[in-house]
Amino acid sequence: MPAPAHVDPRLLRAFLAVAEELHFTRAAARLYVAQQALSRDIGRLERDLGADLFVRTTRQVTLTADGERLVPYARSVLQTQDELLAAFGHARPLLVDLNSPGLATGRRVLHRARELAPEHELMARYESGLTYAAGELIAGRLDASFGRYAGLDPALRAGLDHQPVRHERMAVVLPEDHRLAGLADVPLAALAGESVYAGAGNPRTPEWTALAGLLFEGRGIRVAPPMPLAVGEEEFQRIMARTRNPILVVRGFPAMPATVVRPLVDPVPLSPVSLVWRKRLRHPALDALRRAAAQVGAGEGWLHRPAGSWLPAEDEDVMTSA
């Protein structure tokens, strides 16, 4: 068989993962791919090279002589590729949007990623909403963000990738003298007749407003009409204190002065959170960020869905098909 004209570096990465793990399941988890897809990639590389690289049995995976011969070449090629990418900016800081300083999910993932990759700089940004951040990601002014991926316009999603991170339970911020403030949990039905603030009119957060609209539909709850966009925590608190609208948030949102945060129940509504980045982005700190999201999420059960919880079908499809 003639020598191949080209070998895809992605296939070499797949090969090295299996060669180092000698286990397809562990290698697939390391690469964030399905085991079936990894097997297809190895089969393609074997066809391209005209050589069997592994001996597979029900008990173990071992390298063939050709596989052992390929290992140093694969490492050399990938090291050269990494050096080339670093020369064109991949040694720069990774810019990670956390939406808002008060939200814990992105912050915890970022802190863990910094522990996993102390040699890389991961810098936080606060862009308020995923829709705005998505445009910045595609333009190359940001590298990663967190939020509701299903709520993005398909034209934006075409240029992005994502990894499901968490189903966050939703809550409501109430004035401390509100009729529902004395409840430990607020049933959704109890909000009937209320106008609840969910960022309507904010061009940075339409994915959040749309999620609120789906949640409130048919329950007699209104999305509070747009108001002047408040810039800064103090201005937001001042305007909300004047309007006295309940505010739709996620659990863990820090309470503002003279307010309380109450979880929503019956059903428990969930806010789906993905880690989102630009397609074709290659950066070692992004790999660390993805590992951190998987580790923290698994340790905390972040993707668990309580029985009887609420999640729109479009979000469920996106969160389970990634």
Q: Where are the domains of the chain?
A: 9-90, 94-166+271-321, 168-265
Contact 67, 53 (CB under 8 A): yes
CATH fold of 168-265: D-Maltodextrin-Binding Protein; domain 2 (3.40.190)
| Close Cβ partners of 177 (under 8 Å, ≥ 6 residues apart) | none
pLDDT band for position 154 (50/70/90)? very high
- pLDDT greater than 80 at residue 99: yes
Domain 94-166+271-321 has CATH 3.40.190.10: yes
At the top level of CATH, the class of 9-90 is mainly alpha
pLDDT digits (tens, 9 = 90+) for 126-148: 888 999 999 999 988 899 999 99
More confident residue, 9 or 166: 166
Please report the pLDDT score of residue 230 as a whole number: 57
1 falls in which pLDDT band (50, 70, 90)? Answer: very low
Confidence of residue 207 (pLDDT cuts 50, 70, 90): very high
Q: What integer best gives the mean pLDDT of the chain?
A: 90
pLDDT score for 122 = 94
DSSP annotation of 229: P
Identify the band that residue 32 occupies on the pLDDT scale cut at 50, 70 and 90: low
Cα–Cα dist 75/227, whole Å: 56
The pLDDT, as a whole number, for residue 211 is 98
Q: Do domains 94-166+271-321 and 168-265 have the same CATH topology?
A: yes
The rounded distance, in Å, linking the Cα atoms of 31 and 18 is 10
Q: Is 145 helix (H, G, I), strand (E, B) or coil?
A: strand
pLDDT at 4 over 80: no
